[in-house]
Each structure stands twice: as structure tokens, then as C-alpha cells.
Amino acid sequence: MKNVYLGVDWGRRRVGVAISDELGRMAHPLSTLEPKSLAGLVQSLVGLARERGATAVVLGLPKNMNGTEGESADAVRKFAVELEAAGLPVTFWDERLSSWEAQGRLREGGGSSREKGRVDRAAAALLLQSFLDRRAGLP
């Protein structure tokens, strides 16, 4: 059975997107969107989901280091309502430190973490991979 997921690292200016393989085991950076509106962002993600055969979204939920949710989490929850209304089921996933970890991994790999969007795509892939690993029972 196909279990393709979109991983989404939401940001006010840029949104990183990752995709899983058809077995739902590996996450890969896909694209960076720079939405002009919430409706446009939803439309772009629905289009990507259809094009790639994704059936659900794993949406990074920004939390404070103490586990509480702040202003950004409210915006992400509102965004999730719009995605679900468009027919994309959403699973929230804790994204604390995902951008920081993505920057570190890009530097370690010899790549630039300064390119606009590269960190966003990498963070989306990291949060999606974390979800896939947990789903598979991995630590």
C-alpha cells in the first residue's frame, strides 16, 4: 500500500516541503514555497500532493523549548484547518530545533546553509523523517 506523505516546515516567508518514498520510509527535500497568501499556499500544496501521490501532510508544529505553543503554533493550526478543508489530512509533528539541525547538517555535508530555501527544505525532510521513523517503531 502506498503511504506517501508531504512534510511541511511552515514559515511566515518560506515554507519547506519534503516528500516520502512510496513505502513511507525515507524523506527527501522537495521544494521551497514563498506563498503570497494562505489560499495560494494551500493550493500549491494540494497540487504537489496530487502530482506526487501524497495522501497526507505531516505539518511541523512550532513549540517553545518548554513544550508550550506560542503565536506561530496558532498560525500553523489555522493553516492545518485550511489544508484539511482542501482534502489533505494533517498530522502535527514537533519541529523544535529542526531548522537548527538542518543548518548543522548542511554545513557538515559541505553545502551552504545560506541559500534561501535550502534550510527550509532540509528542515521539512528532517521533521518528516522523524515522523516516519516513529511510525516504523524506530527510536
What average pLDDT does the structure give for the chain? Answer: 85
Give residue 109's pLDDT band: very low, low, confident or very high (50, 70, 90).
low
Distance from C-alpha of 90 to C-alpha of 68, rounded to nearest angstrom: 20
Q: Give percent above pLDDT 70 in the chain.
A: 83
36, part of any domain: no
Min mean pLDDT across 15-19, 77-81, 111-115 is at 111-115
Residue 132: pLDDT above 90?
yes
pTM, whole model, 2 decimals? 0.83
pLDDT value, residue 99: 54
pLDDT value, residue 125: 94
Chain centroid offset of residue 53 CA: 16
Q: Which domain holds residue 63?
A: 5-31+41-135
70, part of any domain: yes
Which run of H or of E encompasses 84? Answer: helix 71-85
The residues facing 62 across adjacent strands are none
Task: Assess contact for 106 and 122: CB atoms under 8 A.
Answer: yes
Q: What is the pLDDT of residues 10-29, one digit of tens each?
A: 988 899 999 999 988 999 99
| Total domains present in the chain | 1
CB-count burial class (<10 Å; 0-12, 13-18, 19+) for 72? middle
CATH number at residue 83: 3.30.420.140
Q: Give percent above pLDDT 90 in the chain.
A: 59
